[in-house]
Structures are given as structure tokens and as C-alpha cells.
Structure 1
């Protein structure tokens, strides 16, 4: 299955770090025992191809009209959006987290989204606010946003609730529970790590309050970036 294969890829290329004893820290103060850096996929052509193939297959299997434009979230969604747009021979744009403070002050760069049917590509879903903010920007610019594609989701309740309330479906190629299953099958956990990861997933706030240490803040750049984005 693609979800298992991609989770295995992420583990093999070192994109995933499990660190319950020295947790990663979000800007909100929330701590996490796992970090998934999907930007590592850019260094591995076979993994990039698997991601692009996976996204293309999702679109092929969906009902309704096909997209006429691919959009990426800045910055980590842009490479995978570019690969998908090239594969589908579609125009491309990307959405900035904030408007430029010079020039035209655009949040959208590239193709004009007005009147287009757009699929939005994100690399990772934690809170979901980065992708949802970008989708709202595209909608405000006159686009018909068909949905959001992402490589990986932490499957946190906050993100699942946010997407349940939004008009755009989310499809991820792999996720946290699959990652744990694959890592467990490969015997990658030290004693107690798997149980700690599952406790965090059930109750991130409670786990964070009891987590040891001050947190590995430096490695959590991608999640800090997403957390600071508010829905537009």
C-alpha cells in the first residue's frame, strides 16, 4: 500500500525523528515526541516520484471535474506542487504565508487563480491552518478550490476538526498511525517510546505538560511556521 510504502520511505531517508525524552517544541509551547521533515524528500528522486504519483492517482480517482491549476503552499508545498503540475501539464501558482512588504504585495504568485479549479498541495498537516489559510486566499481570488493534498498528517484532532468544518476535502498519502505501525514492524522504537507516542497523539496538551526537558525547539521550524498562520 502507498501509505505504508511512503511511511517506510520517510523512515529510511531520515525524515522522521522520534525523541520522547527530548521533545520538539512548538511556538505555542506544545511539545511533541516526533518530528517529520518532509523537505528531506527533495533529496531523493524515487521518493519524490512516489509522492507525485500518489497525488496524481488521488486526482484520477476522485469524482467531479478535474483541476485546471495546481497551487502550493509556501514554502514546503511548492516543490511537490511543481512536480504535480508538470506531471499533469497544468499551470502553477503558490500562496505566500504573508503578503510581500514590497512591490505588488501579492500573496499569490504565478498563474492567475481567478476562475480556475485548483488543487492545493501542502507537504504536512499538523494544525491544518497553513493549508486552510491558503485555500481561503485562493477562494477570495476567485478560484474554485477542489481540495487539499498533503504528504503526511499527524492526525491531530485540531486539524481533523478544522477540515471537518471547511468546505475542502483533505487527502494525505500517509499519516501518523501508519508511520507508527511501520516503525513498530521494523522494531525502531526503544522501550516505552511507542506507548509515549500514542499517549501524545491521544492528548497532545496533557503529554506536553508532563514532557521532560525544555524541548528541542530548533528542529521544529516547519511546525512553528504552520502554527503561526491564522486563518485569513
Structure 2
């Protein structure tokens, strides 16, 4: 059951972000609705409310926030500001110039990194990021997200030892319509 504050947040995110039509998701699946996270991420007040709701989801052992390119970066930046936790910006692939880094910002080796994502459907981007960070000696077992579209058990990310903690689920957004 959602608190009054979370219900209000769900209503606002749903009204602002839910689009209907035919959309191809990152996973390749076709959906009749799409949650355009840029519509809340571009609104500083709504972005802050989403990030504030994420603060309580962070495991106490979190040492670094890993903001996933591109949609996870604005949320992770605000979350870093709210918590004082250092931020690593996780690219989809390493740059081929300059520092040639996959992760910019905070050092992740030997540290517990919590991934920050905007919308998760199948978890493909979070899975790839977790695997890459683990190859760099980071401890990754959690992703926090604004919206988890996946509706079922077990979550696909559990296959790689990553738990998903979401501010809102598609089911919760459907319930406030």
C-alpha cells in the first residue's frame, strides 16, 4: 500500500510520463505504453521528489552511487547531493578517447556500488553495468530505480544477484489512474 505522499508522487509521475501508442523498448519488446522519464527528469521539483523517495531505498552500506547513462545520471546526481554519497557515472561503453573510461567520477574498485536507473523493463542496462563494474572489482548487488515496469517473479536481475528496489512499479502507476 502506498503512503499518501507516494500516491501523490505516483499520480504526478503517471500523468506527466505515461505515453500511449506503439513503442519499441530497449529490450526490443513492443509496448502500447511508454514512461518518458525525461518528462520528470527535466522538471527539477519532480526530479527532486523522485530522488527523495529513493533515499530511503538505499542500503546503509552504500559507498558509491552508480548513475547509468543517460536516464540514471540526473537522478543519481540529485541523490548524491541529497545523501553526500560519491557518484560514479556509468557509460554504456567506454569512451574511445581521452581517459577511455567506462566509469567517470568516483572510484569503484573495492567499494559497494548501488546502481541508479530511471525505468527498468527487463533490466538489460543494469545487468550490463553490474557485470562491468564487477569486472572492475566493485561490489554490486542492488539497483534503485524510479519506475520498475517488470511485473512478475523472479525479477530478471535476480539471475545475476542484483535486487531491484523501486520508488514506483507499473502496477502502482496503473492503480492511480
**Shared fold, TM over 0.5:** yes
Q: Normalized against structure 1, the TM-score is what?
A: 0.68
Report what 1:172 is aligned to.
Answer: 166
Deviation string for 1:159-201 (max 9, x for gaps)?
9542221212111111111111111xxxxxxxxxxxxxxxxxx
**What SS does the aligned partner of 1:83 have?**
helix
Distance 1:17 1:118, change over 3 A: same
**What SS does the aligned partner of 2:131 have?**
helix
Report what 2:52 is aligned to.
Answer: 53
Pairing partner for 2:106 from 92, 111, 117:
111
Shift of residue 104, structure 1, vs aligned partner: 3.0
1:17 aligns with 2:19: yes
Q: Which runs of 5+ in 1 are unaligned?
A: 184-232
Structure 1 runs (4+) deviating above 6 angstroms are none
Distance 1:29 1:173, change over 3 A: closer
| Structure richer in helix, relative to its length | 1
8 Å Cα contact 2:17-2:37 kept in structure 1: yes
8 Å Cα contact 2:68-2:126 kept in structure 1: yes
1:132 aligns with 2:127: yes
| Structure richer in strand, relative to its length | 2
1:162 aligns with 2:156: yes
Shift of residue 113, structure 1, vs aligned partner: 0.4
C-alpha separation in 1, matches of 2:116 and 2:129: 10
Greater Rg by CA: 1
Shift of residue 141, structure 1, vs aligned partner: 1.0
8 Å Cα contact 1:69-1:91 kept in structure 2: yes
C-alpha separation in 2, matches of 1:143 and 1:84: 20
Q: Normalized against structure 2, the TM-score is what?
A: 0.88
Shift of residue 93, structure 1, vs aligned partner: 0.7
Q: Which aligned pairs between 1:52-201 and structure 2 lie closer than 5 A?
A: 52-59=51-58, 62=59, 65-157=60-152, 160-183=154-177
Higher relative contact order (CA 8 A, sep 6+): 1
Distance 1:16 1:110, change over 3 A: same
RMSD: 2.0
Deviation string for 1:120-176 (max 9, x for gaps)?
10001012010111111111111112410000011155x954222121211111111
8 Å Cα contact 1:24-1:31 kept in structure 2: yes
Report what 2:10 is aligned to.
Answer: 7
8 Å Cα contact 1:114-1:143 kept in structure 2: yes
